Amino acid sequence: MRPDPSTPDGPTTRLVEGTGTPGRTVALTFDDGPHPVSTPALLDVLARHDVRAVFCLWGDHVRARPELVRRVVAEGHVLGNHSMHHDDLSGRDPERVRDDLRETAEAIEAAAPGAEVPYFRAPFGAWGATPEVAVGLGMQPLGWSLEVGDWDPPPPADELLRRLEEGVTPGGVVLLHDGGGDRSATVEAVSRLVPRLLAAGWIFTLPARRG
């Protein structure tokens, strides 16, 4: 799902949808983890190629698997707040949104004390009041430039790889999932995509961060 185009476009609430770095740069972002199988598998892939990514964490999953949050941080990746229960927050008033994001932040802090959480991504790309609340809590609203529909039912890895290779653009932010279901096809597609892009001269980086 694309970010809601009605999201306020002010200097601080505007969604980040790119790396902010010219040339063949791309950022990988993963939502809905940590997952006990897919997250470690993706971390292994990224470690083999020395690639950093953003993991947008679902608070309930953080509480269930805090050791994986610590591993994500220890291996140099960056965290995003993806809400506590993966609810649609777009219809909630700012105070209820703030409570949800704070609860998620507290769960992440308990799992990985001191870990920075510079990004927020709204579940389902349903933004509502969340960008302003996220900014008020010190997080950058994180959108994307490419999603390939790797959620349920996930397409085969070959199809995901085709969509990724055809859709990636310089400076783009790619939305994928490491949780929320069977993500084995995503893991396989990423394991094949990363070395191909590296061989073609692409640089993996992180999404832009605006003041």
Residues of the chain with pLDDT under 70: 1-12, 211
Show which residues are catalytic. 31, 177
pTM of the model: 0.94
Report the candidate in 111, 100, 78, 94 with the shortest Cα–Cα distance to residue 209. Answer: 78
The pair of structure tokens assigned to 119 is: 């990004």
Report the distance separating Cα 25 and Cα 18, nearest Å.
9
Residue 60, helix vs strand vs coil: helix
The tokens 């055809």 sit on which residue? 166
Q: What is the pLDDT of residue 7?
A: 42
Q: What is the pLDDT of residue 3?
A: 40
Q: What is the pLDDT of residue 210?
A: 79
The pair of structure tokens assigned to 108 is: 């992440």
The pair of structure tokens assigned to 95 is: 């105070």
Burial classification of residue 28, based on how many CB atoms lie within 10 Å of its CB (0-12 exposed, 13-18 middle, 19 or more buried): buried
Q: What is the pLDDT of residue 6?
A: 36
The fold for domain 25-205 equals TIM Barrel (3.20.20)
Q: What is the pLDDT of residue 13?
A: 75
Q: What is the pLDDT of residue 5?
A: 33
Give the strand pairing for 146-147 and 78-81.
unpaired
Bridge partners of 184, per DSSP, are: none
Do 185 and 154 touch, CB atoms closer than 8 A?
yes
